[in-house]
């Protein structure tokens, strides 16, 4: 087996083993056993310390200079969750590749990775956008994303509080073509979730909010609105490098944060776990102004490891259909989804404005940087609603995905087309939420801007005054 294949095999095997022992409740007692087991299998390519550090990261712990997995206070450290999106697993794993071309450095369009005088890679935390593409690019496993699934498994097994799963719109097809939202719901309940919601339903609310904000903020040909749905890398890049554009960002939270805030508003003791393809979301939930809405972020890859460890196969589960979102919310998972949904909703809510909406969608870190540079220097003549996604293809291209971005896009489109509601305006589930905030279905304009309680709950203050 090549070193690349070994690295990939170690990574998925390691996730599975850590999930299995965590599920059995023996992870801390038996972590030396897992290290022995994995080291025996991969010893031609990895030292024991290198394996141990990869296990530590999968457990949510930072790497350290030892073959031991746990120190005295590690369990506590783990429950605190780290803000670091990406770790250098063990600098000795790095093969220092070709001096002229390193896959990890080339994959980082934010220029956050460099090599020190001895050739070891270093991550500039200020520049790091947390999108995690470097992790995928390294063929040797020298980089790994932050992981939160061990404390989540503990929670699933021990807490008496309700635990909600909020599943990202990109879920379609990730666990198999025949795994519907209903089957995934049954599988998630089997591993301990109390309730399962589609993040796409909360995307519906934000689509309405952004359609109304477009009407409010875009008055003449020089105005434009930048969507805040739903990519944290897009927002971080603007805040860090283009602060003059911050005032043009829609003052709304992402659908993920909206789902957590709304669920907890009515069930304050609930825990909410976001499940998607995104690594950057692990950092988004830690931001001071957003903290508390979501308790853990799990990637599809990590969830798959938990399903395997628990012996649950979503393909075989009962299909408890419970349609929640419109076409607009369901297609958020791919590039152009947000702008398409907002355009269709402007047509329904403020038809006089629809001729004026000209949307532009861009994906990939390099491309969004070019667009922002242009917005800053010369502005845009042909667009006044701007959508940026850090991953190629949108979230279906996120590093925690299980299928190709192309297959993910097809599945998301099929799932979107299957919805009976085209926009949130026709989605009864949206009005069920609005009714909980005391608003009637007959309100002509949903109360999603201004001072209303739901507008405040879905609001976010960006920039220096946040």
Name which position in 328, 394, 405, 424 contacts ligand SF4 (CB under 6 A). 394
CB-nearer residue toward ligand SF4: 210 or 215: 210
Name which position in 78, 390, 430, 458 contacts ligand SF4 (CB under 6 A). 390
Pairing between β-strand 296-299 and β-strand 113-115 as defined by DSSP bridges: unpaired
Of 54-62, 207-215, 388-396, 445-453, the window that binds ligand SF4 (rule: CB under 6 A) is 388-396
Q: CB of 400: closest distance to ligand SF4 in angstroms? A: 8
C-alpha Rg value of the chain to the nearest Å: 22
Q: Could you give the residue ranges of the DSSP H alpha helices within 25-125?
A: 31-42, 48-58, 74-80, 103-107
Write the secondary structure of 252-317 as one string of H (helix), E (strand) and C (coil): ECCHHHHHHHHHHHHCCCCEEEEEECCCCHHHHCCCCCCCCCCCEEEEHHHHHHHHHHHCCCHHHC
Using the rule CB under 6 A, is 233 a contact of ligand SF4?
Answer: yes
CB-nearer residue toward ligand SF4: 163 or 257: 257
Q: Are 200 and 207 in contact (CB under 8 A)?
A: no
Of 6-14, 117-125, 369-377, 385-393, the window that binds ligand SF4 (rule: CB under 6 A) is 385-393
Starting at the earlier edge strand, list the strands of the sheet with 296-299: 195-198, 163-167, 271-276, 296-299
What is d(CA 184, CA 125) in angstroms, rounded to the nearest whole number?
36
Instruction: Report the residue closest to ligand SF4, judged by CB.
Output: 398
List the structure tokens of 81: 């969750």
Q: CB of 68: closest distance to ligand SF4 in angstroms? A: 34
CB-nearer residue toward ligand SF4: 36 or 289: 289
**How many CA atoms, within 13 angstroms, populate the side-chain half-sphere of residue 45?**
21
Q: CB of 230: closest distance to ligand SF4 in angstroms? A: 6
Q: CB of 354: closest distance to ligand SF4 in angstroms? A: 26
How large is the angle between the packed helices 31-42 and 48-58, nearest 10 degrees?
130
CB-nearer residue toward ligand SF4: 35 or 283: 283
Number of Cβ atoms within 10 Å of the Cβ of 122:
12
How far from 440 is each of 205, 289, 347, 429, 444, CA to CA, in Å? 15, 30, 21, 13, 9
Q: Could you give the residue ranges of the DSSP H alpha helices within 143-280?
A: 149-158, 181-190, 199-217, 232-241, 255-266
Q: CB of 128: closest distance to ligand SF4 in angstroms? A: 12
Using the rule CB under 6 A, is 387 a contact of ligand SF4?
Answer: no
Q: CB of 110: closest distance to ligand SF4 in angstroms? A: 12
Name which position in 231, 253, 338, 425 contacts ligand SF4 (CB under 6 A). 231
Q: CB of 166: closest distance to ligand SF4 in angstroms? A: 14
Burial class of residue 158, CB neighbours in 10 A (0-12, 13-18, 19+): exposed
CB-nearer residue toward ligand SF4: 231 or 433: 231
Of 115-123, 349-357, 393-401, 441-449, the window that binds ligand SF4 (rule: CB under 6 A) is 393-401
* Size, binding site for ligand SF4 by CB under 6 A: 13
How far from 346 is each of 209, 210, 212, 279, 429, CA to CA, in Å? 10, 9, 7, 31, 19
Name which position in 389, 412, 421, 430 contacts ligand SF4 (CB under 6 A). 389
Name which position in 395, 403, 430, 454 contacts ligand SF4 (CB under 6 A). 395
CB-nearer residue toward ligand SF4: 389 or 425: 389
Number of Cβ atoms within 10 Å of the Cβ of 223:
12
Q: CB of 281: closest distance to ligand SF4 in angstroms? A: 6
Residues 268-307 touching ligand SF4, rule: CB under 6 A, are 277-278, 280
Q: CB of 131: closest distance to ligand SF4 in angstroms? A: 5
Name which position in 251, 260, 398, 446 contacts ligand SF4 (CB under 6 A). 398
How far from 393 is each of 232, 333, 334, 369, 448, CA to CA, in Å? 16, 9, 6, 16, 29
How far from 435 is each of 250, 252, 440, CA to CA, in Å? 24, 20, 6
Q: CB of 44: closest distance to ligand SF4 in angstroms? A: 34
CB-nearer residue toward ligand SF4: 58 or 391: 391
Name which position in 188, 245, 391, 433 contacts ligand SF4 (CB under 6 A). 391
Q: CB of 381: closest distance to ligand SF4 in angstroms? A: 26
What is d(CA 447, CA 434) in angstroms, rounded to the nearest whole number?
8
How far from 399 is each of 131, 133, 217, 296, CA to CA, in Å? 8, 6, 34, 17
Name which position in 131, 210, 317, 429 contacts ligand SF4 (CB under 6 A). 131
Of 41-49, 219-227, 314-322, 384-392, the window that binds ligand SF4 (rule: CB under 6 A) is 384-392
Residues forming the site for ligand SF4 (CB under 6 A): 131, 230-231, 233, 277-278, 280, 389-391, 394-395, 398
């Amino acid at each position: 087996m090549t070193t690349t294949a070994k690295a990939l095999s170690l990574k998925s095997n390691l996730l599975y083993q850590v999930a299995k022992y965590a599920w059995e409740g023996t992870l801390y007692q038996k972590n030396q056993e897992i290290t022995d087991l994995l080291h025996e299998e991969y010893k031609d390519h990895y030292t024991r310390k290198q394996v141990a550090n990869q296990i530590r990261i999968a457990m949510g712990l930072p790497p350290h200079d030892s073959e031991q997995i746990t120190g005295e206070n590690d369990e506590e450290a783990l429950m605190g969750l780290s803000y670091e999106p990406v770790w250098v697993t063990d600098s000795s794993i790095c093969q220092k590749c070709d001096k002229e071309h390193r896959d990890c450095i080339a994959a980082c369009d934010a220029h956050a990775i460099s090599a020190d005088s001895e050739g070891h890679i270093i991550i500039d935390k200020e520049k790091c956008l947390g999108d995690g593409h470097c992790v995928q690019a390294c063929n040797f496993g020298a980089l790994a994303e932050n992981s939160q699934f061990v404390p989540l498994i503990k929670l699933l097994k021990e807490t008496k509080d309700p635990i909600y799963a909020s599943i990202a719109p990109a879920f379609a097809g990730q666990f198999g073509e025949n795994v519907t939202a209903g089957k995934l719901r049954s599988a998630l309940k089997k591993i301990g979730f109390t309730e399962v919601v589609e993040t796409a339903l909360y995307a519906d609310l934000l689509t309405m909010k952004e359609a109304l904000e477009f009407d409010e903020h875009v008055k003449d040909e020089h105005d434009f609105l930048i969507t805040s749905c739903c990519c944290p890398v897009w927002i971080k890049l603007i805040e860090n490098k283009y602060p003059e554009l911050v005032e043009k960002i829609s003052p709304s939270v992402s659908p993920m944060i909206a789902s957590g805030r709304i669920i907890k508003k009515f069930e304050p003791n609930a825990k909410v776990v976001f499940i998607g393809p995104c690594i950057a979301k692990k950092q988004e939930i830690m931001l001071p102004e957003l903290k508390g809405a979501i308790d853990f972020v799990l990637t599809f890859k990590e969830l798959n490891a938990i399903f395997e460890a628990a012996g649950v196969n979503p393909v075989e589960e009962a299909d408890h259909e419970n349609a929640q979102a419109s076409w607009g919310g369901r297609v958020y998972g791919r590039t152009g989804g947000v702008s398409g949904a907002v355009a269709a909703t402007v047509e329904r809510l403020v038809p006089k404005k629809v001729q004026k909406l000209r949307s532009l969608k861009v994906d990939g870190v390099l491309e969004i940087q070019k667009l922002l540079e242009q917005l800053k220097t010369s502005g845009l003549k042909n667009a006044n609603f701007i959508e940026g996604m850090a991953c190629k293809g949108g979230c279906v291209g996120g590093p925690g995905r299980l299928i190709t971005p192309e297959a993910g896009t097809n599945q998301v489109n099929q799932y979107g087309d299957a919805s009976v509601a085209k926009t949130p305006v026709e989605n009864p589930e949206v009005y069920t939420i609005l009714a909980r905030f005391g608003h009637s279905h007959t309100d002509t304009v949903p109360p999603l801007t201004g001072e209303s309680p739901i507008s405040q709950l879905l609001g976010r203050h960006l920039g220096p005054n946040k």
